[in-house]
Chains A and B, each alone.
Chain A
Amino acid sequence: MKIKLIILASIAVLASIFLIKYFVSSSQKSKAGENDVTVVVNPVSGTKNLDEFDITYVISSDDQNKKINGVNMTFTANNNLQIISLSQIPKTYPSADDIFTAANEPTINAAKTSLNFAYLTLRPQSELTNSIFFKIRVKGNASGAGTLTLSRVSTEITGILNTTSVLFGISSTSNTDPSFTFNSGSTAPVINFKFDPVTTTVGANIDSAIAVFKIDGLPTGKGLTTFEAIFSFDKNVAEAVNITPSDTVVDKFTEVHKTIDNNIGSIKLTYLAKQVEGMALANNARFDITFKRKSTLTAISTTNTSIDASTATGDITGTNYQINKTNGQLVIHPRTTSSSSSSSRQSSSSSSTVSSSSSSRQSSSSSAARSSSSSSRQSSSAGPTPIVLIKMKLRFQGILTKPYDMTPQNVKINVVKEGESNTGFVETSFDPNYDGTYKGIIDVNPVDYNAKYYIYIKGPKHLQKKFCDALPQLNAQGFYSCGKAKITLHNGQNDFDFSNIKLLAGDLPEQGSVQNEMIDVYDLGIMRQYVPPICDVEGKKQDCTEAEIATYKQPALIVCDINMDNKIDQQDWSLILASMAVKYDEK
């Protein structure tokens, strides 16, 4: 009897605790969805091809007092959908503040059918928001249907309501399971056929200008086997007088067509990759096309340099590359009546780059202008601003010969007049040469021809270097230190060879290619993370298949492969440590 009483008493106590707990939790949590938040998914449906795309999730509450401070989400991909990554970690919405840190790193299973992650913030309540968002990258792996399902059972969305921590529910009206229909359409990579820069100007005081046509944007490791581009332009305002292919084109391709027809205003470029055993295919091409103003021109005229037809094939699975075309524009100014504003230096550089059809009249008129060249003359000229081009040759640390990865590199350039501050930059693409140097060209305006200039250069993974000399040299101690500005600029093309000075690597790009002007522990940490063993599956470094390594390497190579040898290894690690002797951008 005693035992029975004890059992009944225990049941009573436990039942009481249960009831208390139930009432407390129900008062906090589920009063008809009082603590629910809304989840909006975009896109929530649609027809897609088999390429990767992002699905955006916005978690929000209409009640400003509901502050979200953490999420723990589990997703499952069904049928023909694959999860690629958490492409955007949770951030505040819409301000996109990066306030969350990973409590549980994004984890995708080997079959790419489930994703789990947890992020939280320790910020005070006053800094929390009632809306956050994140993005999940997915792709279809076969034609048919596919769905991404949010597991509501194992999902947690936490926050603070007034001063109480709460576990938010998801409103019953939220459609959290986007579904798609996948086509078996082309998944060929998209590459670029482009004029870069888009606009090329033939100034009033010069006869010609160079339009740069580029092919780039190929996936890493892929190349070109053939390409053809046909352009048109207005034959009444300009004529094409010369086409200079880049070293890459000359070395890697056989020329089939490189023809100009000024009677109809057309250019045709057709190239076929050379069949040389063991030679890697080119992954870019560049042509400098010199356009000359028609002498009959009496007013400013503009013509498109349209890419009318284009094809490219390569070592890709399936069909040809898809081509993203960027047409150019040619702005032609008529010659002014006075010829005195053309400088002598311009004529010398022009004659080296423009074909022999550049007239001798140009050089004679420019020599007449030599003595009178001045900035006041430039500013008082009623005509358009002359073109000043700066062509540079650079060397990146660790690249001593032709790089394995011939991808052009984006470089930030700032040309600063002596006495002025270094603010802003232009970013342009530098193409690799076969001696390991890189070359690129920018135009600058306006220019004071009497002033001295500094040129600041910052590579995509590099510390900024300041140059004062047109041909800088290392001193006896092996350093180059910029002192007083000695660089002068003239009309036309200015050639500077900075390749005796290495641009030190180490300021690696973060999200969005942002660099923070120094080598800090983030740069060292990310490099350290990717030095072999390179494959890291679900947090454990282990042996991997070639395919896994290739997948894993792509984003890391862009950031960490300093010497462009298509691998991240001890050499890259040694290079970044060597750069720690400097650490900061040169100001």
Chain B
Amino acid sequence: MEPNTEVQTNKPSPMVIVGGGLILVLLVVFFILMRKPGTNQKIENTQNNQQAVVPTAKPTVARFGKLDISTSTANVTDGQDVIVVISGDSMGKEIVGYDSLIVYDKSALTLQSAKSAIVDFTIFKFDRPSHLSLTAVKNLNSKTPTVLNKTPMVELVFKAVKPGTFSIVLQSDIDKESTKMVDEKTNILYPNLSSVMITVK
């Protein structure tokens, strides 16, 4: 009886072979059918549905990534410094520069400094009548990748000069200026934006 058992073990029945092959074929077919257009560098269609029900802050511009403004000094007394950090999320894109428009109450907050938090970026600041305009660009010879993932980009220091509650807002556009990032191919990305509240006592 033992030799018989060995024969059965070494040579599976044709039904098992056919069944296994069928499973294999079905698995391949199943895998192909389950693939969606969004995979393998193709169009991420699911995002459109999300966007379809959640309009962006500025619906005329497609938003990509995010610039987030935050502070660890939301409550200060008159005369104290308010430190604000703008962080970026470029959703995998290599960023080589950005324009940022910051609107704040100039009678309540006085800008002291604007410093790039990314070492390889040079920042240019322009104190416009209604806002602060920042332009930053990655140094030409930098080899450091700058894919932003909640990466602090710029640190702003204001001095509080008036009591009250004030907002500091990252504005999408003012006149012909806009808040945007560019990638290494000079594709323009318009990020989602945020604001922060400051209370001065």
Contact = CB atoms under 8 A, between A and B. Distances in A.
A382 to B, nearest CB: 45
Q: Which of the four size classes fits the interface of chain A?
A: 35 or more
A127 B41 contact: no
A167 B188 contact: no
Contacts of B42: 72, 103-104, 118, 156
Contacts of A21: 30, 33-34
A580 B186 contact: no
Contacts, number: 158
B41 A158 contact: no
Interface string A81-112: 00000000000000000011111110000000
A156 B55 CA distance: 25
B30 A120 contact: no
A393 B80 CA distance: 53
A3 B12 CA distance: 11
B16 interface: yes
Interface residues of B, number: 59
B8 to A, nearest CB: 11
B52 A160 contact: yes
Interface string A567-587: 000100100010010011000
Contact of A103 (B44, B124, B188): B44
Interface string B48-61: 11011111100110
Given A11-B19, A122-B51, A529-B185, A520 B46 contact: no
B22 interface: yes
Interface stretch (A12-20, A141-149, A209-217): A12-20
Contacts of B135: 519-521, 524, 580, 583
B43 interface: yes
Contact of B177 (A121, A165, A518, A580): A518
Interface string B14-45: 01100110110011011001100100011111
Interface string B62-98: 1110000000000000000000000000000000111
B43 A70 contact: yes
A361 interface: no
A10 to B, nearest CB: 6
A123 B61 CA distance: 7
A450 interface: no
B62 A11 contact: no
B155 interface: no
Nearest to A116: B41
Contacts of A512: none
User: By CB atoms of chain B within 10 A, which of A103, A104, A105, A521 has the most?
Assistant: A521
Closest 10 CB pairs of A and B: A525-B182, A70-B43, A7-B19, A125-B52, A521-B97, A14-B26, A524-B137, A525-B186, A521-B99, A122-B62
Given A4-B15, A7-B23, 5 more contacts: A102-B185, A160-B48, A521-B135, A522-B186, A525-B186
22 contacts: A4-B19, A14-B23, A17-B30, A69-B48, A72-B37, A72-B43, A100-B62, A120-B43, A120-B44, A122-B64, A124-B56, A125-B48, A125-B52, A127-B59, A163-B49, A165-B46, A167-B37, A517-B176, A518-B176, A526-B186, A528-B96, A580-B124
